[in-house]
A and B are shown apart, each in its own frame.
Chain A
Amino acid sequence: MEREAKPLPMIRLLANLCFVGSFISFAVTTLGLFRMPDPYNLMHAVSVADSVGVGFAILGLFLLSPSWAVRIKLVVILAFFWIVNPATSHLVLKAGMVRGEPLAAETKAMKG
């Protein structure tokens, strides 16, 4: 039976740092859910977990992966997340606009 090679201590340390980064991102998002004034701003807090939290988690798993087949799957999963999450965020906010969900009072209009 083939023995699985254990990752080097440095790789494990880096992977654990990635997991800590991911945990912090999700914690910030959770805190943001309570602190943001309206649904539009909530999405900004949520996007921290969507992009950075998921990115760090998958990077950590990538470093610990036993084979390239698993690594390719992880990259595909990350690409899927990074395509689908912005699309759903956009749809949620567009639905809010269409339904007339009020913006926070301090929201200003700006032209670029």
Chain B
Amino acid sequence: MRRRYIALFLLLFGFWLVIAGEADWEHILVGAVVALVTVWLWKDLVPQIPVSLSARGIMLFGRCLSTLIWSIVDSAISVTKTVVFGKPPVKPVMLTVRPALETNWGRVFLGNCITLTPGSVTIDINPETGVFTIHALNPEIAEGLCSWKIIDEIRALELWGKERVIHAPAAGGSYGVDSFGTLASDHGSDGS
């Protein structure tokens, strides 16, 4: 647990130094104090912060990111055609779908990806049922969302996280907290 507090402090302090751009004693002092206060304010969230990453985790996350960037460019071209030429026409759809994701962080990540992609906005995610309410610009975009491969990739990340929970006690980690630091009770009633 203590490692997580130190990891968060170092992360915030590093972020401060990068943004401040100077490393004189005034900047270092102010950054250290602000980082300490922030860690104290976030003390309830600290158990949910990951302290270690593996090559596989980074690879899975990179795969999600590449799919997301490709989808953003692809959808932006489609939305640009709609706005400029009116083809395909605007036929709005209110889509309700339940992607096969179990964890809250996975759902939030997917919701963020959907909204980041032009042509679709996540309006609501039900934490109990995992049902997403999405507004899409036309039915083609809505259908594409239902079979979007990033869902499987986020699922793979979830499974990777779960594997690390199983191996965590043997490796000296803490019980009940997965690699993303999500508490077991945070997985929702329909999850694990």
Interface residues of A (CB under 8 A from B): 24-25, 28, 31-32, 35-38, 40-41, 43-45, 47-48, 50-52, 55, 69, 72-73, 76, 82-83, 85-87, 89-90, 93-94, 97, 103-104, 106-112
Shortest A17–chain B CB gap in Å is 14
- CB of B115 within 8 A of CB of A86, answer yes
Of the A-B pairs whose beta carbons lie under 8 Å apart in the complex, a sample of 7, sorted by A's number, is: A28-B80, A41-B90, A45-B79, A90-B121, A97-B123, A107-B93, A109-B96
- Cα distance A82–B91 in the bound complex, in angstroms: 26
Q: B150 at the A/B interface (Cβ < 8 Å)?
A: no
- Cα distance A109–B76 in the bound complex, in angstroms: 23
Given A31-B84, A86-B115, also A52-B72 (CB < 8 A): yes
- 1-29 of chain B: CB within 8 A of chain A: 15, 18-19, 21
- The residue of chain B having its C-beta at the shortest distance from the C-beta of A69 within the complex is B21
Shortest B12–chain A CB gap in Å is 12
Q: Which of A31, A32, A50, A110 contacts B94 (CB 8 A)?
A: A110
Shortest B63–chain A CB gap in Å is 17
Among B79, B83, B137, which residue has the most Cβ atoms of chain A within 10 A?
Answer: B83
Q: B34 at the A/B interface (Cβ < 8 Å)?
A: no
Q: Which of B83, B94, B118, B146 contacts A108 (CB 8 A)?
A: B94
Among A28, A36, A47, A107, which residue has the most Cβ atoms of chain B within 10 A?
Answer: A47
- Cα distance A52–B92 in the bound complex, in angstroms: 22
- Cα distance A83–B111 in the bound complex, in angstroms: 11
A-B contact count (CB 8 A): 125
A25: chain B residues within 8 A (beta carbon): 76, 80
Top-3 shortest CB links A-B: A112-B97, A86-B115, A112-B146
Q: B139 at the A/B interface (Cβ < 8 Å)?
A: yes
- 84-112 of chain B: CB within 8 A of chain A: 84, 90-98, 111-112
- Cα distance A110–B120 in the bound complex, in angstroms: 14
- CB of B19 within 8 A of CB of A52, answer no
Given A31-B84, A108-B94, also A51-B118 (CB < 8 A): yes
- CB of B90 within 8 A of CB of A37, answer yes
Shortest B74–chain A CB gap in Å is 11
- CB of A112 within 8 A of CB of B96, answer yes
Q: Which of A37, A55, A85, A110 contacts B93 (CB 8 A)?
A: A110
- Cα distance A82–B118 in the bound complex, in angstroms: 12
- CB of A52 within 8 A of CB of B90, answer no
